[in-house]
Structure 1
């Protein structure tokens, strides 16, 4: 498309993109249906709770946030710890 930016190529690109989106959506629905059908609460209770917790976003890992001091941004855990210790010692 970038090499030949014609209207026909744009139409073909849009049709192909729409087809891919539909296929992905259908595949996701099929996977979800299969997952729900295979879930047996009588013997796979832990699996069901795990699925529920994943859907709720519980226990989701978060990227560590940098610590900003007056003049610098600290990313490493040890430096963050030392900086916080200094602040606590000043209090």
Structure 2
């Protein structure tokens, strides 16, 4: 199930994630936000000082050029997470192909 995500910190990013049915966007984003890899794709690096927020938004909020970060965030999870967190993120983000 394709989800359009809005992530806001000092600015706002819109991106898509292909998530498994019933996967919890809040859980996935909470875990990914703590990784270095997440900051390469989305973030101003101000998460410690500025409250950030994310939400599932209607597809019409996204532009045609918004990125799909499903595969990139799966790679971050494989590289930087372990245990339950790694399993949860990899189960939630649908593998392509």
Instruction: Give TM-score, length-normalised by structure 2.
Output: 0.23
Instruction: Please identify which structure carries the higher helix content.
Output: 1
Instruction: Give TM-score, length-normalised by structure 1.
Output: 0.24
Higher relative contact order (CA 8 A, sep 6+): 2
Instruction: Please identify which structure carries the higher strand content.
Output: 2
